Chain A
Amino acid sequence: MPFRGLLSLLLVFGVLIGTAIGMLAQADPTTITDDQVMDVARSLYCPVCPNEPLDTCQTEACYRWREDIRQQLAAGRTHDQIIADFVARYGERASAVPLDPTLNALSLVTPFVIAAIALALGAVVVLRWRRRQPLSVAVSSSPMPADASAYRARLEEDVRS
C-alpha cells in the first residue's frame, strides 16, 4: 500500500513537472525581442513589394508576417523551422536564400569563383602586356633579313613602273 501511494505521488509529480516544462517551452510572445524576430525576418522577403526584405518592409503584410514569426518563436520553433513553414505556405520565393543545398552552395561560391577568374584574367593580361612591350621595340629596330632584299627590289621596281 505505501508503495502504491508513493508510485501515485511520483506520477502526479511527473505530470506536474511535464506541464511546467511545456509551459516554459511555450514562452510568452511578449518576451521575444524585436532582434530575435528581425533575425528570422532577414531571411524572408515581403510578399508584395519587389525585392524588399521582410525586416525592413513597412507594409501591413510584412507587419503580420513578423508577428507570425514572433508567435512561432514563442512556440519554441527554430529559425530554420520557421523559414520552412513560410516556404511551405507561401512558396520558395518567400525565402531570401535558396533552400536547395546545391543551389545554396552555388549562390555562396559563385561570386568568389567569378572574382578569382577576373583576377586571373587581369593578371594574365598585365603579364602579357609587360612581356610584349620590349619585344615591339626590338622588332621596330631590327634590320631586315637578308632574303628580303630581292623582295624589296622587286617591289621598288613595280612601284616605279
Chain B
Amino acid sequence: MSDLDFLQEFRPDPAASGRRRLSAGTIVLLAGILSVVVVIGIAFVRSQQGRPESGMAPDFTLTTFDGQQIRLSDLRGQVVVLNFWASWCAPCREEAPALQSIWENYRDRGVLVLGVAYADDPDDSRAFNAEFGLTYPSGPDIGTVISKDQYHITGVPETFIIDRNGEIVTFIFSTITEPQIRAILDPLLVGEAST
C-alpha cells in the first residue's frame, strides 16, 4: 500500500471527460429558481410604481355626478386640488367643509377643486355631496382606474395639488385643513402670477 494510493481518486476519468450535461432534474430545478426570481422581480417592479408625488400629473377624464366631462390636461392654467374621497370615509367628512371653503374662496383666482370618489356607491356619493353642500365638481372613479392605476392611492382621503403647468406640487396623505391648503396655494398663486 503506497502513500500515493489516494491519487487514484484524482485520476482523470475518460468517461467523465468533456462537458457534463445537465440532468432533467437540474434543469427543472433551475427553471424553478428562475421562475421564483422572475416573480420576485415583477413584484419588486410593481412596488416601485408608487404614487406620483412630483412631476407631471397623470392625465385622466372624469365624468362628474352632473354628467360633465373633465379632462385634467384641459385644466392647464389652473391650479387643481385633486381630492380622492369616499362617503364611507370618516376623515373625508372632516375635510369636506374645508374643501368647499377653498373652492368658494379660490375659484376666482384660478383654483379648481376636483373630487374623485373612490370605491363608493354613486347614490351614497351624491348624498354625501348634498349633506355637506359640496358644489365643486366631483365624480365616480369607474373601475378605480384613476385612483389605483394612475395615482396609486392607498386609501382615502388623499389629496394632490397640481400647478398651472400640470405638475404635482404637493401630496397630502391624510385629512387636509383649510389653513394647510391656503399655505400651499397662496405662495403658489403669487409665484405663478409673477411669472
Give residues in A with beta carbon < 8 Å to B: 47-48, 59-61, 63-64, 68, 88-91, 93-94, 117, 120-121, 124-125, 144, 148, 151-152, 155-156, 159
Size class of the B contact interface (CB-based, 8 Å): 20 to 34
Which of B96-122 touch A at CB < 8 Å? 118-119, 121
Interface string of B1-23 (1 = CB under 8 A from A): 01010011001000000000000
Which of chain B's residues have a CB closer than 8 A to the CB of A93? Answer: 144, 148
**SS of A interface (majority):** helix
Q: Report yes or no: B148 in contact with A91, Cβ–Cβ below 8 A.
A: yes
CA–CA, A156 to B8, complex, Å?
13
**Chain B nearest CB, measured from A142 CB (Å):** 9
Question: Would you give 23 A-B contacts (Cβ < 8 Å), ordered by A?
Answer: A47-B119, A59-B88, A60-B88, A60-B90, A61-B119, A91-B145, A91-B148, A93-B148, A94-B144, A117-B32, A121-B25, A121-B28, A121-B29, A124-B25, A144-B8, A148-B8, A151-B11, A152-B2, A152-B4, A155-B7, A156-B2, A156-B4, A159-B4
CA–CA, A60 to B93, complex, Å?
13
CA–CA, A123 to B121, complex, Å?
54
Asked, given contacts A60-B88, A64-B124, A152-B7, whether A90 binds B119 with beta carbons under 8 Å apart, the answer is yes
